[in-house]
């Protein structure tokens, strides 16, 4: 009987603890239902769902570690049913448990009201979808915890029902046992007073003994059943504690993941700023590159134009140098031709002068001979003849002498040696580096004195130096 009372005390504790657990299970089921319904109603993101479930898990752990709840369990587990007033005690404990359950519900509602689901909503809305797998894992763990809690609740209900049935049966058997004991005592008193006992009374006594044996056997079976229920309840409690530990670990991991996510979001913000700065720098560099490309294209065009101008200048310079060379060759040829002609004229003049001189000597000889021959002739006739003959030779000789003198005084001029400006004097200044000799000394003094760069009038090349030359041909 003591053994049975010990088992019943456990059953009583579980039975009394059941409504509180039942209320908590109801609140947890309602909270989980809210946890499932709220996202469907408000279209929350997976990160918001994870935050809600983490808050629910944290509240559950805090509620289970509440000292009032533990004191209530210890107080209820210490109570036991020692007599037949179990039904009234159960009713009173049920009323107290209802009030406690109401307090627990109010506490749960207050805790849920204190939950700030809107904090960091913007930050949670900005989270990436990298934690979806972790959220799914946490959701699966929470679903497993809910399933285990449901199984524990169902088994507790079943054990509570069985314990209540065994308690009712035990109370009924105890009342019958008391009645049988009272009847046995009456019979024993009657035996003392009456030595003879009727057969009907003996039969009834034997039936009562058999019923007592069956009742004791039933009590033993109920004790065994309660013991098995206690073992199953202990296993379920161990499983529940393991699930709580896994849930707390998952909550810690989720908190760490949230911290890492915040850090990643901060880093992402910094990286976004750096990315914007780099994009601006890249845009500026691209603009610089485009400007440099435009400048390069312009410089390329300018280089091409300069090359074209340089080629044209080179071509013009080559043409000018060719013209200068041609003019130099023509000038040299002309000078050589003029010198040759001058020498020819000089030699011809000398030859003519010598010939005229010979002719003059010959004529003088002829004249002296004629004078000697005509003196012997008749003076009258010969005077007229002699005067005519004297006039003609003297006229020819005078004309020839005059031409010879003119040829000596005025030799043939070389037109290529005349100054190209005054066309009077002979050239006497050489220009460097083109080496042209086209001006006389008088024109050279007035040429290029107006502040401009002096250029050769023949090839238009800049004059760097002027050299005055002297000589017969200068």
Considering 71-80, 81-90, 419-428, the range whose residues carry the highest mean pLDDT is 419-428
Label each residue of 328-363 as H, E or C: HHHHHHHHHHHHHHHHHHHHHHHHHHHHHHHHHHHH
Whether residue 254 is predicted with pLDDT greater than 50 in this model: the reply is yes
pLDDT of residue 25: 40
Stretch 283-287: mean pLDDT: 90
Q: Dig out the tokens for 258 from the structure.
A: 């949230």
Q: How far apart are CA 370 and CA 382, in angstroms?
A: 11
Whether residue 9 is predicted with pLDDT greater than 70 in this model: the reply is no
Q: How confident is the model at residue 263 (pLDDT cuts 50, 70, 90)?
A: confident
pLDDT of residue 132: 65
Whether residue 146 is predicted with pLDDT greater than 60 in this model: the reply is yes
Domains, the chain, with CATH or none: 2-284 (no CATH), 418-474 (3.30.40.10)
| Residues making up the chain, counted from first to last | 474
Beta bridge partners of 32: none
pLDDT of residue 289: 92
Distances from the Cα of 464 to the Cα of 299, 434, 439, 453, 456, angstroms? 33, 9, 15, 9, 10
Q: Express as a percent the part of the chain with pLDDT over 90.
A: 2
pLDDT per residue as tens digits for the range 210-224: 887 887 788 788 788
Whether residue 45 is predicted with pLDDT greater than 60 in this model: the reply is yes
Considering 30-44, 215-229, 256-270, 403-417, the range whose residues carry the highest mean pLDDT is 256-270
Stretch 310-322: mean pLDDT: 86
Q: What are phi and psi of 466, to 5 degrees?
A: -125, 135
pLDDT of residue 149: 83
Residue 437: in which H helix or E strand, if any?
strand 436-439
pLDDT per residue as tens digits for the range 418-466: 888 888 888 888 888 888 888 888 888 888 766 667 788 888 888 888 8
Q: What are phi and psi of 206, to 5 degrees?
A: -65, -40
Whether residue 272 is predicted with pLDDT greater than 60 in this model: the reply is yes
Q: How many CB atoms lie within 10 A of CB 23?
A: 19
Identify the residue whose tokens are 């609740």.
153
- Share of the chain residues as helix, strand and coil, in percent rounded to the nearest 5: 80, 5, 15
Q: How far apart are CA 406 and CA 352, in angstroms?
A: 13
Q: Dig out the tokens for 335 from the structure.
A: 């000078």
Stretch 313-337: mean pLDDT: 84
pLDDT of residue 282: 92
Average model confidence (pLDDT) for the chain? 70
Q: Which residue has the higher pLDDT, 172 or 115?
A: 172
212 CB-side CA count, 13 A: 13
Q: How far apart are CA 427 and CA 415, in angstroms?
A: 11
Distance of CA 251 to the CA centre of its chain: 36
Lowest mean pLDDT across 78-92, 203-217, 417-431: 78-92
Of the candidates 328, 326, 317, which has an alpha carbon nearest to the alpha carbon of residue 436? 328
pLDDT of residue 33: 41
Q: How far apart are CA 429 and CA 466, in angstroms?
A: 7
Q: How far apart are CA 361 and CA 164, in angstroms?
A: 192
Lowest mean pLDDT across 205-214, 216-225, 321-330, 345-354: 345-354
């Amino acid at each position: 009987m003591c053994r049975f009372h010990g088992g019943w005390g456990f059953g009583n504790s579980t039975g009394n603890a059941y409504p509180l657990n039942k209320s908590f299970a109801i609140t947890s089921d309602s909270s989980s239902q809210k946890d499932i319904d709220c996202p469907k109603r408000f279209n929350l993101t997976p990160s918001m769902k994870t935050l809600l479930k983490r808050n629910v898990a944290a509240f559950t752990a805090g509620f289970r570690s509440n000292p009032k709840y533990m004191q209530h369990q210890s107080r209820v587990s210490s109570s036991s049913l020692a007599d037949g007033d179990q039904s009234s005690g159960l009713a009173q404990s049920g009323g107290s448990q209802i009030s406690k359950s109401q307090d627990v519900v109010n506490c749960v509602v207050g805790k849920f009201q204190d939950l700030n689901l809107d904090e960091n909503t913007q930050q949670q809305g900005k989270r990436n979808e990298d934690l979806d797998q972790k959220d799914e894992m946490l959701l699966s763990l929470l679903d497993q915890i809910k399933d285990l809690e449901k199984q524990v609740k169902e088994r507790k209900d079943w054990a509570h029902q069985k314990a209540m049935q065994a308690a009712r049966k035990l109370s009924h058997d105890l009342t019958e046992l008391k009645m049988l004991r009272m009847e046995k005592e009456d019979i024993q008193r009657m035996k003392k007073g009456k030595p003879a006992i009727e057969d009907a009374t003996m039969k009834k006594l034997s039936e009562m003994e058999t019923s007592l044996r069956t009742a004791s056997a039933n009590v033993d079976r109920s004790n065994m059943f309660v013991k098995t229920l206690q073992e199953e309840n202990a296993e379920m409690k161990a499983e529940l504690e393991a699930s709580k530990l896994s849930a707390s670990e998952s909550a810690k991991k989720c908190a760490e993941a949230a911290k890492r996510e915040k850090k990643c979001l901060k880093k992402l913000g910094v990286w976004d700023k750096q990315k914007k700065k780099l994009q601006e720098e890249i845009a500026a560099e691209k603009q610089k590159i485009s400007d440099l490309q435009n400048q390069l294209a312009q410089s390329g065009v300018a280089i091409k134009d300069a090359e074209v101008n340089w080629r044209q200048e080179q071509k013009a310079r080559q043409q000018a140098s060719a013209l200068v060379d041609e003019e130099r060759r023509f000038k040299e040829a002309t000078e050589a031709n003029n010198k040759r002609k001058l020498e020819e004229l000089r030699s011809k003049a000398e030859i003519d002068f010598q010939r005229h001189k010979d002719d003059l000597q010959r004529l003088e000889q002829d004249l002296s001979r004629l004078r000697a021959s005509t003196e012997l002739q008749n003076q009258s006739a010969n005077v007229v003849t002699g005067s005519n003959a004297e006039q003609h030779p003297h006229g020819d000789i005078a004309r020839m002498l005059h031409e010879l003198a003119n040829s000596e005084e005025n030799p043939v001029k070389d037109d290529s040696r005349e100054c190209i400006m005054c066309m009077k004097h002979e050239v006497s200044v050489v220009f460097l580096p083109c080496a042209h000799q086209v001006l006389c000394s008088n024109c050279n003094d007035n040429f290029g004195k107006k502040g401009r760069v002096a250029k050769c009038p023949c090839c238009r090349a800049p004059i760097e130096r002027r050299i005055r030359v002297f000589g017969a041909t200068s």
